[in-house]
Amino acid sequence: MDRENDSQIRILVVDDDPVIRLLVGETLEREGFAVTAAENGETALAIFAARPCDLILLDVMMPGLDGFAACARLRRTPAGKRVPIVMITGLDDESSIRRAYDAGATDFITKPLNWLILAQRARYLLRASAAMRELAWRVDFQRVLIETLPVPIAVEDARGRCLVCNPAFEALTGQSSTPADATPRASGCPIPKPPAPVAGSAGAEGWRQRVYETEVVRAGAEPRSVMVHQAVFTPPESGESGVISVVLDITDRKKSEEHLRLAETVFQTAADAIMVTNAVGVIKSVNPAFTAITGYRSEEVVGQTPRLLKSGRQSGEFYANFWRSLCETGRWSGELWQRRKNGDVYPVWETIAAVRDRNGRIVEYVAFFNDITARKQAEQAIFHRANYDLLTGLPNRGLLRERLDQALRQARRYHRQVALMFMDLDRFKQVNDTLGHSLGDLLLYQAASRLGACVRDTDTVARQGGDEFVVVLPDIADGRDAGVVAEKIIDRLGEPFDLSGNTVHIGVSIGIALYPDHGVDMETLLRHADLAMYQAKLAGRNTFRVYEP
C-alpha cells in the first residue's frame, strides 16, 4: 500500500442514507481509517476534487447524480483514474453489475453490508490497488526508461529477428520501431556479429554474456564504432533463447582517444616548455621541454606555483597588468624574465591561455614558453651593429642624431639648455701614417674610452667618423658648464697614449654650440658646432671655442 499505516488512509463514503453513512463511518474509523462522508454524487465530486482520497465507497441508487454517473465522472479526473471505487447497492442483477464495471468500478458490494468483513475488504482493495499501481508504474517506468535512454537497445528472438528497439537504436542504425502488430522483422537486427569468438560467460549455448567491438554501417552515413554488450534471455511464452543488445557508440570516444594520444605526443615532444596549472595557479603537469629549459623535474614543480620561476626583474605593476589581461581576456602573451633552478636568469616569450568548462568557468591555465636568449642576443647584436661604431663601441651617427633629437625635445618641454660639442683629434693623421692603421685604430679606441670617462652617464659620446667625435650634454644649468667639460677632455686626451709600446701625444680641437642660443634644431646646432671646432683649429689647436655668429 502507499500508506505506512491505516490512520493515514482516507476513505470517502458516498450514500444518501445517513444511517448507512454513519454505520460505515463508525466501522471504518474503529479500524483506524480516516472517513469523509458525502450525501450525493455532486458533493462527492467536490470533496474529491478538493482533496483526493485513497478509497471510495459509492452507493448506486442516489437522487440526482447516481453512483454510475458519479463513478464515470470520477474516473475522468486525473486523481480518479487509479483510485479504487467500490459500488454499494442492493441491486445484484447482472446488468447492474455490468453497468457498474463499465462505469469504472473496482469492485461491487451488495447490501445488506457485512460489517465484520467491511474493513478487511477495504484493506484488501487498498493493497490490491497499491500493487496494481506499483505494477503499472514499473511497466511504464521501464517503457519510458528504455525509450528515453540515450543508449541504443535492441531485443532479438532466437532466429535473430528484431523484436523491439528504442529510438536511440533507430537513430544509430536506421532500424525503425517495432510495428503495431509486433511482427518480428525477417531482416534481423543490423548489428554485426563478432568476427571471431569473444570472451564471455559460458552457458548452454556457448555464451550467456559477451562484449565485443564492431562497426555499424548505415547507408549514406559515416561508419560508427560501437561496443556491443549482449546477454541471452529466455522469454517464458516461447522457451526459445533470445538476445538483448546494449550498444555503446564509441566513435567520439575513439576520436577523443586519438586526439589525446596526439596531444600527449605533442606535449611530450614539443620544443616549447608547456606548463598546466589549475584555476588558482597550482602546477598540475609540465613537459620534458620544461625540464630542459628550467632545470626543474616534474616531481619538483607539481603542486608548486609558477612563482618558483620568478626572476625579480618584473615590477609589481607588470604583474598587475599581466593578471588584468589574463582575467579580462583569458589570454596573455609577452616577454618576461625567469630564473632557472641553477639561479640563471633568462628571457622567455610566454603565451598563457585559460581553459574553461562548459559553463564558462576557468578550470585550468596552459602556459607555453621558450628561451629567447639566443634570439635576444642576435637582436642585440643587430641593434649594436646598426647603432654603434664597431671600432670604439660608441654610438654611431644614426644613434647620435636620435639621442640629440631626444635631448632637444626634453629641453623644449622643460625649458633647459643642451650643449653640443664637436671635436677633432689633433695630429691623428700623423700617428696613423707613421705607425700604421692598426695602431691608429688603437688610438681611436683609447681616445673614445677617455672621452667616456670625462662625461656623465646621461651624456652621449658618439663617433662622427674618422677622428671626429661628438658629445651631447643634455640638461646643463649654464653654458659655461660645457667649457668645463671641454677643458677636462683636452687635459685627458693631452696625456700620453701607449700604443703597443709606442708613446704618442695628441691634442683635440673642440667646437661648442648651445641650445637654444646657437640654434633650435639639430642641423643648425651640428653645423654651428662644426664651425666652432674649425675656429679652435685656427686658434692653434688643442683648445675649444664656443660658436660665435
d(CA 35, CA 13): 7
Same fold, 153-253 and 270-375: yes
What is the maximal distance between C-alpha atoms in the chain? 153
Residue written as grid cell 547507408? 219
Angle, CA of 252, 221 and 184, to the nearest 5°: 100
pLDDT at 121: 85
Q: Which of 197, 202, 188 is nearest to 245 (CA)?
A: 188
Q: Please check whether residue 455 is in contact with residue 473, taking contact to mean a CB–CB distance below 8 angstroms.
A: yes
pLDDT at 188: 60
**Fold annotation for 270-375:** Beta-Lactamase (3.30.450)
pLDDT at 182: 47
15, burial (CB in 10 Å: exposed 0-12, middle 13-18, buried 19+): buried
Q: What is the pLDDT of residues 300-317, one digit of tens each?
A: 999 999 999 999 999 989
3-state secondary structure 62-126: CCCCCHHHHHHHHHCCCCCCCCCEEEEECCCCHHHHHHHHHCCCCEEEECCCCHHHHHHHHHHHH
Please identify every stretch of the chain with a pLDDT value under 50, giving residue numbers as ranges.
Answer: 1-7, 179-182, 186, 201-204
d(CA 501, CA 320): 58
Tell me the three state secondary structure of residue 31.
coil
pLDDT at 446: 96
Residue written as grid cell 555464451? 207
d(CA 334, CA 372): 12
d(CA 357, CA 520): 62
**Fold annotation for 6-145:** Rossmann fold (3.40.50)
Q: Please check whether residue 259 is in contact with residue 182, taking contact to mean a CB–CB distance below 8 angstroms.
A: no
Task: Give the end-to-end CA distance of the chain in Å, rounded to a whole number.
Answer: 120
d(CA 424, CA 447): 11
d(CA 12, CA 26): 13
Angle, CA of 399, 400 and 404, to the nearest 5°: 120
Q: Is the pTM of this model over 0.95?
A: no
Q: What is the pLDDT of residues 337-385, one digit of tens each?
A: 999 999 999 999 999 999 999 998 999 999 999 999 999 999 999 999 9
Residue 80 corresponds to which amino acid? G
Residue 406 corresponds to which amino acid? Q
Cell of 194: 563478432
Domain ranges of the chain: 6-145, 153-253, 270-375, 388-546
Report the residue count for the chain: 549
Element (H, E) at 273: strand 273-278
CATH 3.30.70.270, domain 388-546, yes or no: yes
DSSP 8-state class, residue 470: E
pLDDT at 123: 87
Q: Please check whether residue 273 is in contact with residue 370, taking contact to mean a CB–CB distance below 8 angstroms.
A: yes
* 18 CB-side CA count, 13 A: 0
pLDDT at 2: 41
User: Cα-Cα-Cα-Cα dihedral of 95, 98, 99, 104, to 10°?
Assistant: 170
CATH number of this structure's domain 153-253: 3.30.450
